[in-house]
A and B are shown apart, each in its own frame.
Chain A
């Protein structure tokens, strides 16, 4: 059974803290994605990675960075958390080779920044 796991389901942090969100997939997928989802705004792409050590900015990269040192792991970093980064964060992976391939999503991390 294919799986994308995220390190935490719920996370509470304080303004200014550095936050790490981890995502691991066991499907040997090349592509990985980080989204945030907010009511009324839908899924917005933060960063994606075509392959190990490769990354591309999505639609809303400001305030975030990513790391992909191993194929199975894609980390999202909030350098200095702010209250407007309170959101649901979703990681996804996809097999490369066809842009229509389905994305497999993790369960999400609900981050609250106080």
Chain B
């Protein structure tokens, strides 16, 4: 079965810096990968999707990369703000109908 690894330790950065979060997976390369944001006590909210044949995807201050050789996706937030503080989840689908979620990484942006 697909195994997904996201750093369990919180990432602490200063406002204005670029935050980079990692999603590593084992076994088969997923057909697509999604990133979600989750605030405390709330449900996840979809941010970005990247497909296996795409290297990079951008949306405003967000950028996602997908390296099928390294079996890794990186999620970047440029010019980070305290309001970006949240837990970020990656979700992978290998072609099965249901995506598998990682455990998420907490991002804390300090003013």
Residues of A within 8 A of B (CB): 4, 33, 35, 40-43, 45, 48, 58, 90, 92, 99-100, 102-108, 110
Contact = CB atoms under 8 A, between A and B. Distances in A.
Contact of A110 (B41, B95, B96, B104): B41
Interface stretch (B18-26, B42-50, B69-77): B42-50
A90 B43 contact: yes
A58 B41 CA distance: 23
Q: 7 shortest A-B CB distances, which residue pairs? A: A105-B43, A42-B103, A102-B46, A43-B101, A100-B32, A105-B44, A90-B43
Interface residues of B, number: 23
B46 A108 contact: no
B50 to A, nearest CB: 10
A105 B34 CA distance: 14
Contact of B95 (A40, A99, A103, A105): A99
Interface string B36-74: 000001111110010100000000000000000000000
B89 interface: yes
Contact of B46 (A33, A103, A110): A103
B95 to A, nearest CB: 7
B60 to A, nearest CB: 17
Tell me the dominant secondary structure on chain A's binding face. Answer: strand
B43 A100 contact: no
A99 B96 contact: yes
B27 interface: no
A106 B46 CA distance: 12
25 contacts: A4-B43, A40-B103, A42-B103, A43-B89, A43-B101, A45-B98, A48-B98, A58-B98, A90-B44, A99-B31, A99-B93, A99-B96, A99-B97, A99-B99, A100-B31, A100-B32, A100-B49, A102-B46, A102-B49, A103-B44, A103-B46, A103-B99, A107-B41, A107-B43, A108-B42
A99 B103 CA distance: 21
A42 B23 CA distance: 14
Nearest to B30: A100
Contacts of B104: 42
Nearest to B96: A99
